[in-house]
Structure formats: C-alpha cells, structure tokens
A and B are shown apart, each in its own frame.
Chain A
C-alpha cells in the first residue's frame, strides 16, 4: 500500500507487519507520555528524587544519550573534515541516531525541571559561570545543526524528490554539509565537555570534583573524549541491531571496521587518560579535601557502591573493549565486535551513572550516611519514552528513506523487483 514511498532498489516488510511493530512500540511510548503528563500536572513529587538526590535517573539518561549521540559529530568530523570517505556509507545513520539522542535529551530536560514554563530563563538570565548554561546553549545549537543534517535525508524520500524545490534543496544542503559537520564538531566539543564539567566543578562534592586547566576541570576533556570514542561504538551497535532486526546486511564490513578501529584507538587513549585522572584524583585531589578513596566506596556505613563499580567502569567496560577494538582479528569477528562495542557503550553509561548518581549517594558531612534512591515508575516510563520514540523514528526513516547507501548493492532484488 505504501510501496510508492519506499526507496527504489530495496525491499521492506509488508505494511501490516510494520504497523503492528509500530503499535507495540507505540504502546510503550504512550505509557511514557502518560507518565510525562502526570509529572507535568502533579509535579516532580511523582518521582522518587529527594533533597539529597536532586539529580537522578533523568540526568543520567540525559548525559548517557548525549554521550552515545556523539557518534554523529565524530563520524561527521571524520567524514567531512578529516576526509575518511568510506564513512559516507554510515554517516546518514550516525546523524539519525544523533538526532534521536539529542531530541531525547531535550525532551528529558523539559520534563526534569520543576517549573517547565520558566525553562527559557536559562537563556534569558544566563549565568556565564554555570556549566549548565553552556550545555543549554550548545545543546540547542547542536540540535539545530543535527536537524539541518537530517532534513536533506528526509528530502531524499522518493515522493519528495519529485518536487523540484526539495530535490535542489537536498542537493545543495549536501553540498555544504562540511560546514555543518565542522559547526557540529565545535559545538559538541563544548557541550560534551560542559556536561563533564557539571560534576567536575562541584568543589563541595569531592567525589565529582576534579582539578583542571583554567576554568575547565579534567572531566570536561574526558567527557568529550569518551563521547568521541563511545558514540561511534553506539552507532555500530545500533547498526548491528538494525541488521539483526531486518535480517539484512546494511553496511559493508570495511566501513564498520574503519569506524571500529578509530573508536578503538579513541577509547584506548581515553581510558588511559581516565586512569591517570582517577589515580591523580584518588591520590591528590580527594585527600586534599579530607577524603580517602575508600570513603567513596566501602569506608562508610551503608555503602551502596563498592570498588566493583570502578573496576567495571574502567576495566571491564573500558580497557577490555579498547584492547578488543584495536585488534584487527577481534574486529573481523562479528560476535566479538558486537561484544566490544556493547561493553564500550555500557562503559560510557556507567561513567555517567557514577558521576551523577554515585556522586550524590556519597555522604560529604561526616555525620551523614549514604543516600539511596530507586526511581519511581513515572521516572522509568519517561526514561523509556525516548527509547520508544527513537525506535519509531528509526523504523520510519529506515522504511521510507535511503538511510543505508550500500543496502541495494548488498541486498540485490530478484529479477523484476522494484
């Protein structure tokens, strides 16, 4: 029924099956929307946050999706600025994933504030000393850039291409995409960094605080670095999941291999810097504030976090995937490659979890105990909401837009096909 909208040279599942899939994911989306309205109407008392846990699941989700959405800016940088031409075969998908991640982040932020109608104050009464101000400005600007990058993809729909204006617009936008890729990389450097600075500047919170250069704590650079490393891993992971879901090969191995190799070296250098940062923080920064390393893990009554989380983040989800990804033989093995990118993605998520959730769990006053927090169903539903939205947007984009340029070549249609 919708065959006129489906790109030429590719095959899609029957419309009925597609709609059933959308309905199932849409039900999850609806669950999130109900929770969202409940929060808007009744307020943040619908969450399990409290005065000790002012930042919780949403801020973690925000930081995590922005880190994982970093594949868009970094792949764009590699493709348009550094000139890695093979990546043109995955850049569309990287941009789409980035668009999903950043729009999700903005949606979560809009739910997270106590007075949503005043959210514009962050621009109007901006405090230039605040990391969140920089995050808000750069995030908004970069989302506009991602939209500009996504628009020509939408215009490549078969029916829209029949409109001369849209065809020329898409063509010309593709022509100047390097400008937006450079702008995106510039903006991403700052907002990824500022998100790292969110906890890094909190000198009242020795667990999160880091020394640094000038006004930028080390976490500023580490966050940008980890986003550049783990973002492409997420792009590869989602590409592989899409291939599994569609039972088709969509991107050639050499493209994935190149991106994985670059991500691997980024991850290896990032995790080396992260280890140096952790050692310096544990040996110098925290003791100077009156804390020992174990105060943040096991040295307090009711500790919710053990050293295992540090080992999991830096070792299992950091060093291990980095070593795997720089090895050509691992990259050639699809299962090991999948495991490596999955671990890298989990590592980025774990890092954001630690820097937001654990930071607030750690007692700072000597007579306080560890704080605990379990999200409410409304928080969980609104965090799953963007995932459902992302799946739906990706499903529609895959069905109706030529997202994967190599798909027709990798999946030739039988004689007499569309």
Chain B
C-alpha cells in the first residue's frame, strides 16, 4: 500500500450562518468528556474546548448587529510546526503532528506548568483547576475512546482526535490508507444545525474546506478567498481554523491588524 500523504486538517466556520445556539459546545463536551462543575459561571475557570464569543458592531439600533464566533483550538502550524504552545512546553507534553497538522496534548505527561497557556494568544488552553466530578450515573455515559483528565493538567480541543484514530483503524482493516472526507468529522461540525462548520483536509483540493478557503500553502495557509480570514493573522501563528463572512465589521473585529489599516 502507498504511504498516505501528509494531511493538514482544518476548519472553516461561516460566521454569517452561526446563530450562537451552542450546539457545537455541547457536542464537544459530550464527545470529549469535558468536566464541569455545579457552578460553572466563571468562564475563566471552566473548561470548554469550543467557546462561542459574542461580538457586536457597537452601533445603536437600527444598525446594531451581532455575530457569534465559535473558537476551537486553532491548531497553529507556526513555522515548520513550531506552534506557539508546542515549542514552549518543557516536558514535550504537547506535539504538532506533521502527518495531520493536529496539535495534541498528552495529559499524562503534562505536569501543569501552564507555560503553554501563557503562550497561546487565543486562550484555547485551559487548566483543570479541580478534579472532574461527574453527576451520579453519568460516568457510564462517558465516551470510552477519550481519556478523562485529572486535576492539575492543561487540556484543549484535539479536533476529536479519537474519531480520527477510529476512522483510521477502520480504514486499515479494510485495506485502505486514506480516509474519505466524511469518514473523519469533528463532533462540533456534525452537531451544528446551521451547517456553519466545515472540516476536512486543507491539502486536499477535493475537500470542501480547501475549496472554500483556497489556502496559499506556500504562505502558511493564508486564505486566497477574500471573504475568509484567520484570527490574528499578523502574529504568524498560521492557524488552521478559518472564518468566513461577508460582513466587513466582523472581519475587522477578528483581526486587529485589519482594524487599524
């Protein structure tokens, strides 16, 4: 069998379709065994791999507009896989996989120094300030493919990596090395009722994500589609999560560089 080509899994989120319903957040929590507390109102202490921001154009009625911006881990590529968080981890507890473009987190190796959290400009990395406590009986509903995390370690969105492993296992059993687009989809993508999230391989021209973004792979995956942008493009983090919108103010709100020019 031929060796599979390197993938660059990424996501494009249509901000004009997103209604802010939060289904992506709920699906993510269920899929990835994300812990929660009785009182989870302080969002700076809670864990949510997918967080939905609420943006406003700041104008009064009748020109007031709002936009919901879902923010998973951006799976930054940086320069040659040196994403902001991966290069700083002192214990190699996080890794940039050149075969998939996914930034992983090894929970059992993380010792909780939180340097990666300080390094991430998107605040996608969150700390387990408490041990997870599941409501009575809920532990039986946990996803057996995803390990639960203990107090004192950092976690973040993995692009539902367990789904990738499951799909790859199945493909290998069937004598294939390549996955089709629909075989590996993240939970948030499938849960979004508006179809605002598109996930796939940015390297593969047959995948929708590639067709929408039209990534300039020679320049860190910069989008060629003028309606697509990335958060904080000028930092050089080269994220693989893209945002699609026709509204100029949303694009400006998402990138301070555009805001000032």
Contact of B152 among A44, A203, A359 (CB under 8 A): A44
A43 to B153 Cα, complex, angstroms:
11
Q: Which of B114-122, B159-167, B182-190 lies at the binding interface?
A: B114-122
Q: Which of B3-11, B24-32, B127-135, B220-228 lies at the binding interface?
A: B127-135
Whether B247 sits at the interface, judged by CB under 8 Å, is no
* Residues on B with beta carbons closer than 8 Å to the beta carbon of A54: 114-115, 117-118, 125, 127
Chain B window 68-97, contacts with chain A (Cβ cutoff 8 Å), 1 for yes, 0 for no: 010000001010001010011111110000
Q: Which of A145-153, A289-297, A390-398 lies at the binding interface?
A: A289-297
Contact B130 A129 (CB under 8 A): no
* Residues on A with beta carbons closer than 8 Å to the beta carbon of B231: 365
Contact A51 B112 (CB under 8 A): no
Contact of B90 among A50, A51, A130, A360 (CB under 8 A): A130
Contact B88 A114 (CB under 8 A): no
* Residues on A with beta carbons closer than 8 Å to the beta carbon of B253: 366-367
Contact A126 B90 (CB under 8 A): yes
**Most-contacted residue by chain A among B78, B131, B235 (CB, 10 A):** B235
Contact B128 A114 (CB under 8 A): yes
User: Residue of B at shortest CB range from A44?
Assistant: B129
Contact A122 B111 (CB under 8 A): yes
Contact A118 B111 (CB under 8 A): yes
* Residues on A with beta carbons closer than 8 Å to the beta carbon of B82: 129
Whether A15 sits at the interface, judged by CB under 8 Å, is no
CB distance from A410 to the nearest CB of B (A): 46
Contact B119 A205 (CB under 8 A): yes
* Residues on B with beta carbons closer than 8 Å to the beta carbon of A63: none
Chain B window 233-260, contacts with chain A (Cβ cutoff 8 Å), 1 for yes, 0 for no: 0111100000000000000111111011
CB distance from A216 to the nearest CB of B (A): 14
Whether B171 sits at the interface, judged by CB under 8 Å, is no
CB distance from A163 to the nearest CB of B (A): 42
* Residues on B with beta carbons closer than 8 Å to the beta carbon of A232: none
Chain B window 52-69, contacts with chain A (Cβ cutoff 8 Å), 1 for yes, 0 for no: 010100000000000001
Contact A359 B111 (CB under 8 A): no
Given the known interface contacts A50-B42, A51-B44, the answer about A201 and B87 at a Cβ–Cβ threshold of 8 Å is yes
Contact A136 B90 (CB under 8 A): yes
Contact B153 A122 (CB under 8 A): no
Given the known interface contacts A44-B129, A52-B44, the answer about A125 and B114 at a Cβ–Cβ threshold of 8 Å is no
Given the known interface contacts A131-B88, A132-B90, A290-B257, the answer about A205 and B44 at a Cβ–Cβ threshold of 8 Å is no
Chain A window 201-215, contacts with chain B (Cβ cutoff 8 Å), 1 for yes, 0 for no: 111111000000000
Whether B168 sits at the interface, judged by CB under 8 Å, is no
Whether B17 sits at the interface, judged by CB under 8 Å, is no
Q: List A residues 122-142 near B (Cβ within 8 Å).
A: 122, 124-127, 129-133, 136
Given the known interface contacts A44-B129, A52-B123, A204-B119, the answer about A113 and B111 at a Cβ–Cβ threshold of 8 Å is yes
CB distance from A169 to the nearest CB of B (A): 36
* Residues on A with beta carbons closer than 8 Å to the beta carbon of B260: 290, 292
Whether B151 sits at the interface, judged by CB under 8 Å, is yes
Contact of A114 among B111, B232, B236 (CB under 8 A): B111
Whether A308 sits at the interface, judged by CB under 8 Å, is no
* Residues on B with beta carbons closer than 8 Å to the beta carbon of A136: 90
User: Residue of B at shortest CB range from A366?
Assistant: B256
Whether A227 sits at the interface, judged by CB under 8 Å, is no
Whether B126 sits at the interface, judged by CB under 8 Å, is yes
Q: Which residues of A contact B (CB under 8 A)?
A: 43-45, 49-55, 112-116, 118-119, 121-122, 124-127, 129-133, 136, 198-199, 201-206, 288-292, 295, 359-360, 364-368, 371
Inter-chain pairs besides A44-B112, A52-B123, A114-B128, 10 sampled, C-beta below 8 Å: A43-B129, A43-B130, A44-B152, A51-B127, A54-B127, A113-B113, A115-B111, A121-B91, A203-B237, A366-B259
12 interchain pairs (CB within 8 A)?
A45-B45, A51-B44, A54-B127, A114-B112, A115-B150, A122-B90, A127-B87, A198-B115, A203-B235, A204-B76, A289-B234, A366-B253
Q: Which residues of B contact A (CB under 8 A)?
A: 42, 44-45, 53, 55, 69, 76, 78, 82, 84, 87-93, 109-115, 117-123, 125-131, 150-154, 231-232, 234-237, 252-257, 259-260
